[in-house]
Structure formats: C-alpha cells, structure tokens
Amino acid sequence: MDARSCIRVDSDVLIVGGGAAGVAAAIASARQGLNVTLVERYGFCGGGAVAGLSGTVCGLYEATNNIAAGPQQVVFGFADEFCRRLEAMGGLGEPLLYGKTWARVHDPLVWREAADGMLLEAGVRVIFHAVAQSVQMEGDKVEGLSIWTKQGPLDARARVVIDASGDADVVAMAGLPNFIGDNGAVQNPTMIFRMMGVDVDRFIREYGVDTIMPEKVSAMIRAKHNAGEYRLPRAKIWLFPTTRPGELLCNCTRVIGPDGRELNTLFHQDFTDAEIQGRLQAREYARFFRDNLVGCERAFLNDTGVQVGVRQTRQVSGVKTLANADVIQGAKFADGIAVSPWPIELHSGDKPKVEWLLNDYYEVPYGCFVPARGEGLLVAGRCLSAEHEAVASARVTAQCFSYGHAIGLAAAIAVHENALPRSIDGKDVRAAVNADGARID
C-alpha cells in the first residue's frame, strides 16, 4: 500500500478495539489531555459485552459461601463509573446471584449509548467501521497502523498504540511474541441469545434466584439430548432475567463445528462455522425452553449476538505472565494495577469447570500488558499475558474495564514523560489508578 495515497491521522494514543478495555483506555488517556483515536470494526462500541451479547458485568463482587451477607464490591474506578452511568440511564439491573457471587445484567443498546456519550465528552476521535490491516514499524517500535475504511486507507500514527482487539491482532501483525491458549487449545465460543415472552416471576419461583440453573434443569437437558429429542450439547446453563420485562438472557450453547471439532475463531472457517452452528443451537435451546421450562410456554427467540461470543484466542507474551496459581492463591503485587475476585471458568467439554476464590481477590501486574519485545505498544483486555486457567478468570468485563483504565493512564504517563511504556514503573500506574478512584489499596 502506498502511504502517500492514505489519509494521515496523527494521535498521541491510538487504540484498536472498542470493547470494555478499549473504551476505558480511550477515555482515561483523553482525560489526561491527550489526542486519542479509537478504531472499532463495528458501528458501535461494546465488544464481547454488546456484539457478543455477553450481557452481564461480571467481576465486581467477592465470591463467598455467606450469600446472606449480600454482594461485597471490590472493583471500582472506571468499571464502577461506567456501571453508574448505565444505571442512571436505566440500562443496568440489580446484582443477581451467580453461584457464590453476583453479576449485573446490562441492556446492550444502553451500553452503546453510554459509551458514545462518554467518548464524546472526553474528546476521543472515534472511527467506526474500520479495521487495522498492518503495522507501521521503525525497527522494533510500533509507530502506527494502516487502517482500512470504506473511504479508503488511513495512515494512523501515534506515540503509543494500545491493542485492545481482544485477539492481540496488533501484536501478531507486528510479529511480536504471542501464544494461543493451552498449546493451541482454547475455550469454546458461545452464541448468547435472548428470549422474550417469559413469565419471569413463575420462572424464578420454579427454578430459584440463582442464575446458574439447578440440577433438575441440567438433568432434563441431558435426558432429552440423550433421547435424541433435542440437540443440546451443554447441560449446565445460565439464564438471567434482564432489565426488560419478560426477557431472559441465555448463556447455554457449546459451539462446536459441524464435524464435532472444537473451534478457534482465529481461523476463518472456524469463525464461520461458529456463527452458523451457534444460531442453530440457539434455536434448539429456545425450542427446549418453550416445550419444557415453567414460565417459557409462550417464549420466543428475540435475538442472538451480532457475533458469537469469543472467550479466548491469541494473547501477548508479556514482561510478566499471570499464573494459574496467582488466581487460586489471591496473589498481590506491588505493581498490581487491577484486581479480580472472579472464579476460574473453563468452558470446554459438556460441563464448564468453576474454581472459586472465596472472600478474596487477586491483583494483575502491569507487566502482563507490556509485550516481552517491541516498543511503543501496550495491550488491554483479554489478550493479556496470562496462563490458560488464569485468563479463564481474568477475561471478564469488570476486569477489562480496569485494565483499560490502567493502560490508558500508563499511555498518558509515557506521552507526558516522553518515555517508552516498558520503562514505566507499574507502581506509578497503580498510584495513578488509585488517584482516579480504583481503591486498590
């Protein structure tokens, strides 16, 4: 591509991906007086929370065996600010029981509008319907990106680039060290969907307030599946009442290929098969609900995610790596820039594995977002440097907000001090997020 034919866009900070991490990073750095550009492939922000219809803010509250004590919030900062914005707009429900912790269901349309408003207020330049297609390098330093838009290519340059793509796309395009899951094996994707026409009160009376469905529902799914009446490859399911009357948000599907293979959405055929098979499964679970579950007799499939929900793909090889043991033991770090109380959730096979961290949280160090090699680049979101089981905890929405908040502030420090991101002390980033309401200490 001839750079002379491109439209030139110069920024202090250039961010790829408008999910929770990208939005938080853009707003955090722009509030520090920087010129910030956010590039997003859809016509709205939200990433997995909106396009993938994950629909919940997970990771705000401690897990506990003492459910009667109620939710104890441990994550604040930008995550808390965004939730308060959603709540004020009528787009966030009260905490719902989720096993040993709580989650909050959001309205994905309100999520988009909240992000739009906050980005505009912060003065972020947003470029929708745009895709990063190559990296501008000077030696080992990332200096910008070639961005494709319907208007044509953009030559986007910045002092700091943040990869919030979820898939470490910029890292990979730059040829920097990365890895995929557990020796290439990743958690399976899920097609999340919504059911309308549900008598939610009857449903809750029958199945309880826990959004993880009881064993009697799982047993019925297994029996109907094994009898060949329905194709229901996952028996342990999550059903959430939403902010809308008569609606359930349904996290049920286990999306595999038509030939039974596990799918990795980095591969174009796997991604395509995931979308098609996901929609077929959503229809099948919806049919099962309507035929068998109390309160769902008149329910109907309202919509599915704009795309299949992706849990894990490619991750950066970082200066530091969050270990599985760090999550289980509630590890704390002097340069911890975000906290998480969320359990390890491994979605593979027909029954997810959940490992709880009770009445505690772990911290994620700054080095997990700094590439082991390469300058001028940071990552934010689920493509952080973390072991397979650790990322099964660290990838959820509240934490992605927190990562973006911290990395946006780290980028601001780098610009203001004319420093490389890797030279920044994580303790200074921790101090910056605490000064901005994170309450880590």
Q: 189-216, pLDDT tens digit by residue?
A: 999 999 999 999 999 999 999 999 999 9
Q: Are both 282 and 326 inside the same structural domain?
A: no
Residue 15 above 70 pLDDT? yes
Q: Are both 127 and 231 inside the same structural domain?
A: no
What is residue 276's three-state secondary structure?
Answer: helix
Which CATH number fits the domain that encloses residue 117?
Answer: 3.50.50.60
How far from 92 is each of 57, 204, 330, 394, CA to CA, in Å?
9, 19, 29, 22
Q: 393-440, pLDDT tens digit by residue?
A: 999 999 999 999 999 999 999 999 999 999 999 999 999 999 999 999
In a domain? residue 186: no
Q: 233-263, pLDDT tens digit by residue?
A: 999 999 999 999 999 999 999 999 999 999 9
Residue 2 above 60 pLDDT? no
Q: 96-115, pLDDT tens digit by residue?
A: 999 999 999 999 999 999 99
Q: 133-153, pLDDT tens digit by residue?
A: 999 999 999 999 999 999 999
Q: 399: domain range?
A: 3-92+99-181+313-435
Q: What is the pLDDT of residue 354?
A: 83
Q: What is the pLDDT of residue 346?
A: 77
In a domain? residue 247: yes
Percent residues over pLDDT 90 in the chain: 94
Q: What is the pLDDT of residue 1?
A: 46
Mean pLDDT value across the chain: 96
Q: What is the pLDDT of residue 5?
A: 76
In a domain? residue 367: yes
Token couple for 60: 């705000």
Q: What is the mean pLDDT of residues 320-326?
A: 97
Q: What is the mean pLDDT of residues 317-342?
A: 97
Token couple for 427: 């303790």
Q: Are both 325 and 430 inside the same structural domain?
A: yes
Q: 353-374, pLDDT tens digit by residue?
A: 789 999 999 999 999 999 999 9
Nearest Cα neighbor of 141 from 159, 164, 167, 163 is 159
Q: Are both 267 and 349 inside the same structural domain?
A: no
Nearest Cα neighbor of 47 from 405, 307, 433 is 307
Q: What is the mean pLDDT of residues 74-90?
A: 98
Token couple for 38: 């956010």
User: pLDDT grade, residue 345 (50/70/90)?
Assistant: confident
Residue 228 above 80 pLDDT? yes
Among 276, 304, 332, where does a domain finish? 304
Among 304, 325, 352, where does a domain finish? 304
In a domain? residue 42: yes
3-state helix, strand, coil in the chain (%, to 5): 35, 25, 40
Among 304, 325, 351, where does a domain finish? 304
In a domain? residue 440: no
Helices and strands (DSSP H and E) totals, the chain: 12, 20
Q: Are both 328 and 255 inside the same structural domain?
A: no
Nearest Cα neighbor of 38 from 51, 56, 20 is 20
271 within 8 A of 319, measured Cβ to Cβ = no
What is residue 127's three-state secondary structure?
Answer: strand
Percent residues over pLDDT 70 in the chain: 98
Q: Are both 135 and 254 inside the same structural domain?
A: no
In a domain? residue 232: yes
Q: What is the pLDDT of residue 4?
A: 52
Residue 3 above 60 pLDDT? no
Q: Are both 320 and 217 inside the same structural domain?
A: no
Dist CA 411 CA 421 (whole Å) = 7
Q: Are both 282 and 215 inside the same structural domain?
A: yes
Q: What is the mean pLDDT of residues 223-238?
A: 96
In a domain? residue 132: yes
- State the total domains in the chain: 2
Q: Are both 130 and 49 inside the same structural domain?
A: yes
Q: What is the pLDDT of residue 353?
A: 76
Dist CA 88 CA 56 (whole Å) = 16
Q: What is the pLDDT of residue 164?
A: 98
- Measured at the CA of 147, the angle between CA 146 and CA 153, to 5 degrees, comes to 90
Q: Are both 169 and 215 inside the same structural domain?
A: no
In a domain? residue 441: no
Residue 350 above 60 pLDDT? no
Q: Are both 263 and 386 inside the same structural domain?
A: no
Q: 285-303, pLDDT tens digit by residue?
A: 999 999 999 999 999 999 9
Q: Are both 142 and 231 inside the same structural domain?
A: no
Token couple for 1: 């591509």
